[in-house]
Each structure stands twice: as C-alpha cells, then as structure tokens.
Amino acid sequence: MIVGDLLELDGLHIGVAWATPELLGRQVTGVTSTDLQDPARYLQPGELVLTGLVWWHPGDEAAAVRFATSLRSAEVAALLAGEGTHGTVPKALVSACRTHGIPLLSVPSGTSFRAVTDRIYLRLWGDLQARSQGVAAVPEAVRRELVGLMHSNAPLTGLLAHAVARLGLPDCSVLTGGGRVLAASAEGTGTRGAVPVGPPGDSPFDGWVLQPHTEPTPAAATVLHGLAELLAPLATRARATAAAQRRTAARILDLLDQDGPGLADTLLACGLPEGQPLTPVTARVEGGSTVWAAAALADALHRLDVPFAAAPYGGSGAADAVGTAGAVSAAGAVSAADGVGPGVGAVGAVGLVAAPAAQVTAALRAAWPGMQARLTARRLLRAGVGPSVRPEAGALRGALVQAGYALDSRVGGAVGSSGELGSLAALLRGIPAEVTAAFHTRLLAPLAEHDRQNGVSLLGTLGTFLDHDGSWSRTAEALHIHVNTVHYRIRRIEELTGRSLARLEDRLDLRAALLCAPQQAAAR
C-alpha cells in the first residue's frame, strides 16, 4: 500500500491538503492516531499518522512546526489531519508539512478515525495476503465472505460463528493473551490447540489466540491456522487501538503530575464520563515491565464493561502521587527493569475506572488467578485499588497515593484495597521492608541480644503480654509460668528497651516493632 491509495478508499472522502506525486508513492507500514504535540518516540518509520488537531490552537504556527518536525524525525509516510476540530486543515500545518516534505491529507469531519484505521489495516492485510499462501486452507469463497464481513465491521462473535459453520470447524473462542473471551461460536472453552492470531504481543497479556473447544483433527488444525491468519488484521487493529488508548491515558498522569490545565478534556478524550467519580488502580508485575503491567491491568478492567483508562507508569522524576514511583512512561517504551527494582515499591501501571471501588476490587480479584497463571511463579502480578473520588486533580492524586499503598500493603492478597486498610499490621505492610527492619532492630535489639544469651524469651513474653491486653494473669496462664515471673520479665523488658508498658504510647511502639519482625517482612 502506498499513500496515494488512501485517496481511492470508497466512502472515506480523504483529500490532499499538500503532497507531490513522488510523496504519494511512499510505502505505508501501519497507522497510529495521536494528539500529542511531540509523538516521535511512539511512531515507526513508514506509518501513517492520524491527528484530530486537538494540540493546535489558531495562530500557533510554532506548534505546527514542532509537530511536523517530530513526524519528520520519525520518518512517517504521511499525516492525515481531521477537519472536525477546526473546520479545515490549518494553513500553518500545511506550510510546516511542505517545509519538511510530509504529505498532508485531510479527513472530513463526517469520516471517523475508526473507519479510516479499519480500512487501512484491511488494505495492508490484503496486500500481505496477495503475496502469501497462508490462507490457502480457507476456501476462496469463504474467504471472500469473511473479508466482506470484516469490511462491514461485523461483530467478532458473528464473524467467528460464520467461519465455524462454513468451514466445518469445532466451536472456537477468540481470547486475549490474558484469557478474556472476546468472542465464541458457542458456550464452552478449550485448553489445547490454541493458535496465535496475528504477531506476538509485547507481553503475555497482549495479542489474541484462537482456541478450539475440542481437540481438532489434523485437517481442521490446518484450517484453524488459515482462519487465524484471516483474523490477524483485527488483532493488529485492536493492538493499535489499545496503544493509542494508553498514550491518551498517559496524558492524564502527566496533567496530574504537572497540575496543568485540560484534565477534564483529557478524561473525556479517554472515554471517561464527565463529572462521575473515578476509582484509581495501580498494578505491578514483579520481574516484568511497565508495559506488561499496563496490558494486564487493561485486560482485567475490560471485564467490568465500564469506561476506564490505563497507562504504563514507571521510571523516575515527578508524579510522586503514586507510592514511590516516578514519572509516567507515556508509550510504555521502557526496560523490563523499570518499576521492579528491589525495595523500590514502584507501580508499573495506573488506571482510572468509572465504577465504585468495591466493584473494581471484586472484578480484579476474580480475574487475577487466571492472569497470574500466565506468568512464571517468580513474576507476581499485584494490584492496589484506591477510593472512588471526584474527577479533580487534588482528589485523584490523593486517591492514587492510597492505591499505590494498597498495592504494597496487599490487604486482601494480591489485589489490595485501601478500603480494607484497617489495622496497624496492614498499614505497616505498605512500608518498605528495609525501613520496618530498621525500626524493629532499633527498638528490640536489646531483647534479641538477651534472648540469644539466655534461655528465656523476652521477645515472646512481650508479644504474649501485648496479645493479652497487658493482663498479668492471662499472660502467665498462656506462658505456663507464675504471675510473679511475668512481672519480673516485664520489668526486665522495660529496663532493656527504655519503654514503660504502663504507657499506651510505648505499648503501641513495641507492638509496631514486633509486627516489623524480619520474618513478617519476608512474608510480605
């Protein structure tokens, strides 16, 4: 496919704002939608770039130049500018594209970007199939029927059911990498014979698979592979859409970090309802990248069937609103080590969900075991849910802090909830192990040294005494010793620690120190 082919796509009415015949002959490799001012790091050479021009304001010629410079550095094939925002393609953008040699096409306000993206990917797929024998197992007549359904944006469930019926295949499901069912020709699932749909994803939770419900015959397995190749452009389009959604969601985190204007508009651009309370969620894959965490979180939140936004979150710098993590990685183009260093406690992804916190927590806990099963035992998937708050910068920042802390405290297991953070033990679990270990040693080292040199456990006596609310008799009964012995040991504890167990404040400090014992920290 070349850039000039866009002018021939029926029903889209794409026009030329500026181009030369030579530039219209550029080869196209893909398409990306963006409204970032500087999207170069998220683009690939040969891509088409779709923009709604939200970033441009009348009279701002410098913005147009910066945008065109960014596209040139990324070596994109062409720019498609929507006319819906400003009514026409700005002259400043035309001039900037002419200067940098970027073909500029116009997309009328009546044409949706989704329609443009769909047609481009289908055309690219058609070009690929013309050079491939990959779908030879699918009869030509059936292939034409399925391609026609794809062109008409038929629901995936109907498309799959039609393919199964016409090709004589066993019932099948299309699943995400995270195990979420996208479509099924009948109820039920399978466990063997899954066929990848499209190229592999960037994480175990990306991409699609075609899963037969029963073991296919060798002949059916061949046809399944052909069907998977036929469905590949839909999977590719879904990945492109998800990547664009993550980029837009990352803008929310930028605005929260910088306290900049435009938060309400960006929330709307992510599909979040205006004025409705939002629940923040954090996620991390220990031993995995922020991209993995974002993909896992998005796949889990999709099951709620409510509006949400999710983006990778890691690195270093600002945005201290979430635990000890740093700045947002808008494209998720980060190393596998980001956000997972020992003791750092950084999250890997952040989401905002238009649903109550309890509903979000329940959905994540239901999805988590199946998603964890897609990782090795050393790569633990964890999440934290904050409180539902107003969609305002200050409230969201505070709620994100709580969500990040809930992730580290893990109240409730792998999916922590700030709403269940109701005990001192739970509160301490969110503090880095190095800090709690130091606190434990600072207060209780004299008792530990005593216990190493003597056959009497003062640490055990202290714990029992506090467990029994400072009752001498019940402590004696629990330890099977005389009450006078309890009095002696407590006096010795007070001498060694410099604390009085008659004072509530000192009792609380010693209780916290016991809860910070290294073995408990390791259990976290």
516: how many CB neighbours lie within 10 A of its CB? 24
Map tokens 């094939």 to a residue. Answer: 77
pLDDT on residue 412: 55
Those residues whose C-beta lies under 8 Å from the C-beta of residue 36, and which sit 6 or more positions away, are 42, 55, 247, 251, 330
Cα distance between residue 495 and residue 478, in whole Å = 23
Cα distance between residue 234 and residue 201, in whole Å = 14
pLDDT score of 132 more than 90:
no
pLDDT score of 156 more than 90:
yes
Map tokens 């690929």 to a residue. Answer: 128
Confidence category of residue 521, pLDDT binned at 50, 70, 90:
very low
Cα torsion 189, 195, 197, 202: sign: positive
Judged by average pLDDT, the poorest of 135-144, 157-166, 175-184, 401-410 is 135-144
Name the nearest CA neighbour of 449 among 459, 464, 463: 459
CB 272 within 8 A of CB 251: no
pLDDT on residue 329: 30
93: how many CB neighbours lie within 10 A of its CB? 25
124 vs 3, 30, 54, 230, CA distance in Å? 11, 8, 27, 12
Does residue 9 come out as left (phi exceeding 0), alpha (psi in the -120 to 50 range) or beta? Answer: beta
Tokens representing 419 are 């709403």
Residue 439, Cβ density class (10 Å: 0-12 exposed, 13-18 middle, ≥19 buried): middle
pLDDT tens for each residue of 67-123: 999 999 999 999 999 998 889 999 999 999 999 999 999 999 888 888 888 788 777
| Rounded mean pLDDT, 332-359 | 61
pLDDT on residue 327: 29
Task: Calculate the dihedral angle through the C-alpha atoms of 35, 37, 43, 45, rounding to the nearest 10 degrees.
Answer: 120
pLDDT on residue 519: 55
Name the nearest CA neighbour of 301 among 427, 205, 173, 229: 205
pLDDT on residue 159: 94
| Rounded mean pLDDT, 495-519 | 87
| Rounded mean pLDDT, 1-22 | 91
Strand residues in 135-278 grouped as ranges (E):
172-176, 181-184, 195-197, 208-212
Report which secondary-structure segment, H or E, holds 519. helix 518-523
pLDDT on residue 374: 86
Cα distance between residue 15 and residue 7, in whole Å = 6
Those residues whose C-beta lies under 8 Å from the C-beta of residue 121, and which sit 6 or more positions away, are 30, 31, 233, 236, 237, 240
Share of the chain above pLDDT 70, in %: 88
pLDDT on residue 323: 35
More reliable by pLDDT, 434 or 245? 245
pLDDT on residue 137: 72
Confidence category of residue 411, pLDDT binned at 50, 70, 90:
low
| Rounded mean pLDDT, 142-154 | 88
pLDDT on residue 314: 66
* DSSP code, position 151: H
pLDDT on residue 126: 59
Task: Calculate the dihedral angle through the C-alpha atoms of 90, 7, 34, 240, rounding to the nearest 10 degrees.
Answer: 180
Tell how strand 208-212 and strand 195-197 pair up. antiparallel
Cα torsion 124, 127, 128, 129: sign: positive
DSSP string, 293-356: HHHHHHHHHHTT-S-EEEEE--SSSS-TTSTT-----TT----TTTT-STTT---SEEEEESS-
- Phi first, then psi, for residue 215 (nearest 5°) are -60, 120
Confidence category of residue 523, pLDDT binned at 50, 70, 90:
very low
CB 278 within 8 A of CB 396: yes
CB 374 within 8 A of CB 205: yes
pLDDT tens for each residue of 232-287: 889 988 888 888 888 888 888 888 877 667 888 889 988 999 989 999 999 999 88
pLDDT on residue 320: 33
Confidence category of residue 136, pLDDT binned at 50, 70, 90:
low
Amino acid at 88: T
Cα distance between residue 385 and residue 400, in whole Å = 8
pLDDT tens for each residue of 167-201: 889 999 999 988 899 999 998 877 778 899 987 77
Confidence category of residue 340, pLDDT binned at 50, 70, 90:
very low
pLDDT on residue 353: 95
- Phi first, then psi, for residue 308 (nearest 5°) are -155, 165
HSE-CB for 97 with a 13 A CA cutoff: 24
CB 507 within 8 A of CB 496: no
Name the nearest CA neighbour of 314 among 350, 279, 352: 350
pLDDT score of 471 more than 60:
yes
Average pLDDT, the chain: 84
More reliable by pLDDT, 332 or 348? 348
Does residue 213 come out as left (phi exceeding 0), alpha (psi in the -120 to 50 range) or beta? Answer: alpha
Is residue 421 helix, strand or coil? coil
pLDDT on residue 346: 60
Residue 470, Cβ density class (10 Å: 0-12 exposed, 13-18 middle, ≥19 buried): middle
pLDDT on residue 93: 94
Cα torsion 434, 435, 437, 442: sign: positive
